[in-house]
Every structure is written in C-alpha cells, then in structure tokens.
Amino acid sequence: MTALAKRACGPCTACCIDLKIVAPELKKIARVPCPHLSGKGCGIYETRPGVCREFLCGWRLFEDMDNSWRPDLSGILTMRRAPSEMPAAWQNAPYGMHMVVLTGQEAVLRPAFLRYVAQAMARGIPIFLSAASPYITLNEHVPAGADASLLKQRLAELYPLLNAARFGAGLCQRIRFLYRLQIDREYQKYLGKSAA
C-alpha cells in the first residue's frame, strides 16, 4: 500500500493556506486561506477543482516520511519536483524536494528534519528550501556528505538569511539578504574545490 492510499489530509490545511494557486478554476495568493476553506476543511471537497484534486504533498507521496511529517505537525510542506522543473544543474537527479517552512526555524532544526534531509542529500536529491521567500538549493550551501549535526549548524546560519529574504520585507533588504545567500553559495563551492 502506498503512502497516498494510507494517508488522508485530516485536519491539515497547509496547502489550502500557504500555497499560491494560479489555475483557471482557482486563483489564490500564498499565505492567504482559500475562499472555500471552512472551519471543517474544504467546503467544496467533493467538487474541488482539479488543481486541488491532483495536488499531493510530500507527506502523502513519500512513503519514508512518517506521520510526524504531516505539514501541520512538522511545520514543513514538502512538494516533489520533477527534473524538468529544476534548475539545469539538478536535472539529472531523479526528482527534487521543495520544502516550504511554515512555522519558523524550529521546524528545520528538529532532529527528524535534519536526518531526513541529510539522507536525501546523500542520495543526490536536491533540496529546495523556502520560508515564504525565494528558495535556495540547500545542497549548494552544505558540503556533500554532511551529517545531521553539520546540517543543523549550516541551517542555523542560513535560515535567518532565508527568512529575512521573505517577500514581505522591503525590496532593498530582500536584495541584500539574497546577495548574502549567493555569496555563501559561492564560498561553499570554493571550499569544495580547495578540499579536492
């Protein structure tokens, strides 16, 4: 039995609130509740649009994510990305994982997140991380083969920059923090080359 067959969204409405939806049948801004959301979940669940019907969050899709990964419990909404949806440097990977941080730094520093992401990165899976912000490719900021403790250290440094680059911040501040993230990425590349 697949994760999809075993798991139902239950009380989780993260995708109904946190995702931007641009489809002919439904348009919604990110971090704004869907107009069909009620106190008991989707008010039009039986007739919900195709864009909602076809969406599968990573917790429902990836069998190796246990129940603690449900977005409303973990603070992380994970989405699978096909190679064609990824930057050219990562299109040879079998898939990518876009992880949207919903609740703050504590979500990315929890041990289950660190273990899972370190294992995925060791398998060559690109991790795209965002915090209601432009995403970063975490693999480009963390040395290859990093364990959970090194990943935790790097995330403690990177998350405040990523969080500061949120769309709600002023344009100049966003540019400044995105520039700092770019400098960090280039520095990690330099460290990788000098170690070789």
121 against 131, higher pLDDT = 121
Is the pLDDT reported for residue 1 higher than 50? no
Tens of pLDDT along 5-61?
Answer: 468 888 999 999 999 899 999 999 888 999 999 888 889 988 999 999 889 999 999
Quickly state the pLDDT bin for 195 (edges 50, 70, 90). Answer: low
| pTM, two decimal places | 0.82
The domain segmentation of the chain, as residue ranges, is 1-54, 75-195
**What secondary structure does DSSP assign to the chain, as a single string?**
--HHHH---TT--HHHHHS-EEETTEEE-TTS--TTEETTEETTGGG--HHHHH---HHHH-TTS-GGGSHHHHSEEEEEE-GGGS-GGGTTSS-EEEEEESS-HHHHHSHHHHHHHHHHHHTT--EEEESSS--EEGGGTS-TT--HHHHHHHHHHHHHHHHHT-TTS-HHHHHHHHHHHHHHHHHHHHHHHHH-
Residue 73 has pLDDT above 90, yes or no: yes
pLDDT for 162:
78
pLDDT given for residue 193 in this prediction: 62
